[in-house]
Amino acid sequence: MAKYLILKHYRGGPAPIVDYPTADHWKPEEWDAHMKFMKDFEARLVESGEFVEGQALSPDGAFIRYDGEGRPPVTDGPFAETKDLIAGWYVIDVDSWDRAVELAGDLSAAPGPGGTPLHEWLEVRPFMTESSSATE
């Protein structure tokens, strides 16, 4: 088994197939259907034994960095904030890359406005292990 991270993005990936309005412009029933799909997807992963963790993220947050001994941390910066980019994630433990891709494809079909699949781009990344190399 190998662990993979499936990242859901608000923006920042390849151009969307269908340019839907952001979720804050969805009707309540559209948001409810989307969240039900996500919960059902997670339940299928739990049932198959492939679920490790999943979490939606709040849009609140900031970048923080060390600024030297005795100085307060620095917040923000001249870059896009992850709160604008990353909506949430799933950590899965599956038999192969192909299975991780299959699950991400299933998740990409989450419904959006009007109940149509979002066809959203999802980022899939393997967890590093001691045996991982940069060429894998």
The domain defined by 2-66+83-126 carries CATH number 1.10.3720.10: no
Q: If residue 35 lies in a helix (H) or strand (E), which one and from where to where? A: helix 28-48
Kindly report, residue by residue over 83-125, the tens digit of the pLDDT.
Answer: 556 788 999 999 999 999 999 999 999 998 899 898 888 889 9
The pTM of the full predicted model, rounded to 2 decimals, is 0.76
Q: Where are the domains of the chain?
A: 2-66+83-126
Cβ distance 95 to 7 under 8 Å? Answer: no
Question: 3-class DSSP state for residue 6?
Answer: strand
Burial 59-98 (b: 16+ CB within 10 A, else e): eeeeeeeeeeeeeeeeeeeeeeeeeeebbebbbbbbeeee
User: What distance, in Å, lies between the first and last C-alpha atoms of the chain?
Assistant: 16
Kindly report, residue by residue over 19-53, the tens digit of the pLDDT.
Answer: 776 777 889 999 899 999 999 999 999 999 999 99
